[in-house]
Amino acid sequence: MSTAEIQVKHLSVAYGKKNVLHNIDISIAKGEFIGIVGPNGSGKSTLIKAISAFLKPSFGKILLQGNDTQNIKREEMARMLSVVPQHINIHFPYRVYDFVAMGRHPYQSIFSLTDDKEEKKHVNKALEITDTKHLANRSVLQLSGGEKQRVILAAALVQDASILLLDEPTASFDLHYQIETYNTLKKLNQDQQLTILAVTHDLNIGSLFCDRLLMISEGRLVADGTPDEIVTPEMIEKYYKIKIDHGISENTGRPFIVPTGKEV
């Protein structure tokens, strides 16, 4: 097999003395759409931050296209990988257009003009993809939660990286925008071979859109497989400690779950 897009090797991450991730091994090929699932506090966000090299491994390493993330230059890495964090606190009234254009940072220097034609094309395309073009002149401080999150996604897309990490990107979306956003991601994934890792709490979304799911529990990778293998009553009961009804969708052939209201 050729070099994997992302290779996580024996990764451990600690906050101070507290180990948050233990000895994790994952190999991800270019163009995979991967969901990271697991209960709260299991280390999903930490894994995303470690892959983006924001957190240093206390043991092990992470390779992006064969190169150790600790040795990749910051700007070069920003052209390989972009992130959509759980939330961004914005303190100043950036115009939506300018906010999205800021995602072009790794391609610009002090002397770059923001009204460059090529740059405009990138920004407008991302605004179109995320259905936020009509917001371009609004202040980011005035957007609703869902609008803001789509604008943040647009800013990650203009970064033009081949890997996209998302941390619960649709937590504040209504059902329509959840599905629309994941459809957009799926399309980018299929058309442009974009490699996607998304933390999600919604196992049905994960089942419907992801090729592969990683279950993280108490800092360990406890299961790694297709939605058919992961979204099962046994798995959910074991790691989420609830009873569920489980079925296979007639329309998509994918497994889905409905909580029964009983805890284990």
Burial 43-81 (b: 16+ CB within 10 A, else e): bbbbbbbbbbbebebeebbbbbeeeebeebeeeebbebb
Site string for other proteins, 80-109 (x = CB under 8 A): -xxx-x--xxxxxxxx-xx---xx-xx-x-
Tell me if 196 sits within 8 A of 114, measured CB to CB. Answer: no
Shortest distance, position 47 Cβ to other proteins, whole Å: 14
Amino acid at 218: E
User: Interface with other proteins by CB under 8 A: which range of 138-146, 169-177, 188-196, 235-243?
Assistant: 138-146
* Element (DSSP H or E) covering residue 49: helix 44-51
Binder among 3, 70, 71, 114 for other proteins (CB under 8 A): 114
Spell out, one character per residue from 27 to 56, where the chain touches other proteins: x when CB under 8 A holds, - when not: ----------------------x--xxx--
Whether the CB-CB separation of 194 and 162 falls below 8 Å is answered with yes
Instruction: State yes or no: residue 188 binds other proteins (CB under 8 A).
Output: no
How many CB atoms neighbour CB 260 within 10 A?
10
Applying CB under 8 A, the residues found at the interface with other proteins are 49, 52-54, 74-79, 81-83, 85, 88-95, 97-98, 102-103, 105-106, 108, 110, 113-115, 139, 141-145, 159
